[in-house]
């Protein structure tokens, strides 16, 4: 971080340090929660069993296979060194919303992205950053060296929302940039055309890339805690409409639940990880739960 401080204003360097510390705490807590068992990460997949040999780590023994065969086997994992991570963050105006939480949707996404960046750098996996609204904006090319962490953190602390979004066009543009099998980690409220978004994400997955969609909504966008007459405004177009909260609440909650359920079904059928979140869930807890669930599939 010393090198970063030489080029940044003190207040920005302080923000980066805080973000760096948050990311480290999330990842350290996650690794400790595994009781020091090997974490094979994003870029390693199960390959096959082989007989246990002297020198192998006993923690790798497959006890299910032993119970069936009365012989010791270890799980062999195959590293895929060409897997490159991209953090893709939505900068549309709607990401700046918060009702009563301390973090906006963009702030929440930045915290998640910082922790995942730290994790990938710890594993020596290349990771880069892209941002988008109606098109791709800032880009940090993927690197695995440790200096990549402060480079990406400095970009994350500078992010500001812009206007509307075209998620489908941005994902399609990103897919043309990917020359090797990659892991795309998308952070968005997904307030965009649903059909074109799903089509673009499926095409990205069919291109051989691993995709994780972190669907970040504000707590109020899920629970609809409003009372009396409220003015509902589209944060990207500015259009607004007065409604009576009591009349709209049930239908609104049902619509959001159906939307998330539909995305979960559609994306999982395409083997895309869908992670529904809202800003009332501590981001470190949400990320740790997701990483543990993902790890169990390897």
d(CA 39, CA 31): 8
Cα–Cα dist 154/18, whole Å: 11
What per-residue confidence (pLDDT) applies to 242?
81
pLDDT attached to residue 219: 96
Closest CA to 221 of 233, 210, 229, 213: 233
pLDDT digits (tens, 9 = 90+) for 133-145: 999 988 899 998 8
Question: End-to-end alpha-carbon separation of the chain, Å?
Answer: 34
Q: Supply 121's token pair.
A: 């750098």
Token digits for 97? 């919303």
User: Which residues are paired to 84 by β-bridges?
Assistant: 182
Judge whether 243 and 217 are in contact, CB under 8 Å.
Answer: no
Tell me if 131 sits within 8 A of 174, measured CB to CB. no
Give the predicted TM-score (pTM) of the model: 0.76
For residue 202, the Cα-to-chain-centroid distance in whole angstroms is 17
pLDDT value at position 45?
46
The pLDDT, as a whole number, for residue 198 is 98
134 CB-near residues (< 8 Å, 6+ apart): 163, 164, 165, 166, 169, 170
Given a contact cutoff of 8 angstroms between Cβ atoms, the answer to whether 163 and 191 are in contact is no
Length, in residues, of the chain = 298
pLDDT at 39: 37
Which stretches of the chain drop beneath a pLDDT of 70?
1-23, 25-50, 52, 54-56, 75-82, 234-238, 295-298
Any bridge partners for residue 45, and if so which?
78
Give residue 181's pLDDT: 85
Q: What is the DSSP letter of 240?
A: E
| Whether 200 contacts 104, CB under 8 Å | no
Domains, the chain, in order of start with CATH, read 2-28+80-295 (3.40.50.410), 44-79 (no CATH)
């Amino acid at each position: 971080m010393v090198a970063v401080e030489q080029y940044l204003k003190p207040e920005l360097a302080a923000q980066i340090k805080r973000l760096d510390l948050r990311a480290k705490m999330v990842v350290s807590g996650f690794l400790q929660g595994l009781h020091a068992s090997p974490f094979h990460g994003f870029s390693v997949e199960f390959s096959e069993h082989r007989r246990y040999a002297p020198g192998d780590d006993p923690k790798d023994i497959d006890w299910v296979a032993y119970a069936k065969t009365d012989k010791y086997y270890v799980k062999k994992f195959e590293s895929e060194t060409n897997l490159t991570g991209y953090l893709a963050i939505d900068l549309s105006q709607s990401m700046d919303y918060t009702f009563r939480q301390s973090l906006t949707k963009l702030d929440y996404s930045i915290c998640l992205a910082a922790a995942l960046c730290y994790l990938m750098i710890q594993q020596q996996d290349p990771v880069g950053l892209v941002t988008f609204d109606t098109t791709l904006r800032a880009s940090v090319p993927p690197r695995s060296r440790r200096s990549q962490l402060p480079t990406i953190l400095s970009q994350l602390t500078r992010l500001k929302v812009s206007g509307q979004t075209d998620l489908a066009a941005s994902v399609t543009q990103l897919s043309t940039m990917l020359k090797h099998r990659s892991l795309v980690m998308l952070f968005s409220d997904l307030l965009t055309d649903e059909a074109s978004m799903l089509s673009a994400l499926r095409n990205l997955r069919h291109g051989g890339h691993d995709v994780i969609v972190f669907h970040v909504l504000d707590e109020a966008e899920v629970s609809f805690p409003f009372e009396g007459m409220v003015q509902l405004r589209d944060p990207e177009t500015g259009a607004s409409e007065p409604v009576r909260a009591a009349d709209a609440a049930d239908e609104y909650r049902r619509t959001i639940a159906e939307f998330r359920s539909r995305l979960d079904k559609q994306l999982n059928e395409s083997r895309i990880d869908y992670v529904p979140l809202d800003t009332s869930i501590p981001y470190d807890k949400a990320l740790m739960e997701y990483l543990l669930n993902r790890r169990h599939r390897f």
